[in-house]
């Protein structure tokens, strides 16, 4: 083999279900020429896939914690609002307003605020997701995410404000009804 010859790079992609013994191939090719090098990227790709799965699990856990914090904050904000508006609530009771009517007023306010905050948060999360996807494509991991993953992520970004607002509204209703009955 000519020492001045340029190296030749051969890239082989295997089907996912293909069983392949790299050590046997390396031995066979080394018998032909000792300068041949085999680099198996499957282990590295497996580590990257595990990292992506771990990030998804951590993101799910973080999302759950944010939802829990939102519900706790909603509960305390509702209680504070009830204390602030205690005199107005007493006047409403005197003129015949029911606990359900008063609760509905608080629920409407919470629903509106939840939709606004959820939409802003979901928009920012969608932009962040798009940035991460672009970054992964520039690094060469565009094939690591299935197209179904993108549609699932889009559904999450669309429905998250509604789900968050629903939980906030239910939390407000339970808090108001519990406080008004005590």
**Top-confidence residue, 37 or 107:** 107
d(CA 181, CA 170): 16
**Top-confidence residue, 72 or 15:** 72
This prediction's pTM:
0.63
Neighbours of 172 (CB within 10 A): 26
pLDDT tens digits for 75-115?
Answer: 888 888 888 888 888 888 889 989 899 889 989 999 999 89
> 70-107 burial by CB neighbour count: b if 16+ within 10 A, else e?
bbeebbebbeebbeeeeeebeebeeeeeeeeebbeebb
Domain limits, the chain: 47-181
pLDDT at residue 52, rounded to an integer: 84
Supply the angle between the helices 147-181 and 42-84 in degrees, to the nearest 10: 20
pLDDT tens digits for 120-169?
Answer: 989 998 898 888 878 877 877 665 566 777 788 888 889 989 998 998 89
pLDDT at residue 21, rounded to an integer: 79
Angle at 42 between CA 7 and CA 31, to 5 degrees: 45
């Amino acid at each position: 083999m000519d020492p001045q010859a340029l190296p030749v790079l051969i890239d082989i992609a295997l089907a996912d279900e293909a069983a392949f013994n790299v050590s046997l191939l390396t031995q066979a090719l080394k018998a032909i020429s000792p300068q041949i090098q085999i680099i198996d990227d499957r282990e590295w790709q497996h580590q990257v896939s595990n990292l992506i799965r771990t990030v998804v699990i951590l993101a799910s856990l973080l999302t759950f914690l944010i939802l829990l914090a939102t519900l706790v904050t909603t509960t305390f904000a509702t209680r504070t609002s009830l204390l602030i508006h205690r005199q107005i609530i007493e006047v409403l009771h005197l003129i015949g307003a029911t606990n359900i009517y008063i609760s509905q007023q608080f629920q409407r306010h919470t629903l509106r605020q939840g939709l606004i905050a959820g939409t802003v948060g979901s928009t920012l999360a969608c932009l962040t997701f798009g940035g991460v996807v672009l970054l992964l494509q520039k690094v060469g991991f565009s094939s690591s995410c299935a197209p179904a993953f993108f549609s699932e992520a889009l559904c999450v970004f669309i429905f998250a404000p509604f789900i968050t607002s629903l939980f906030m509204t239910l939390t407000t209703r339970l808090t108001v009804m519990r406080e008004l009955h005590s």
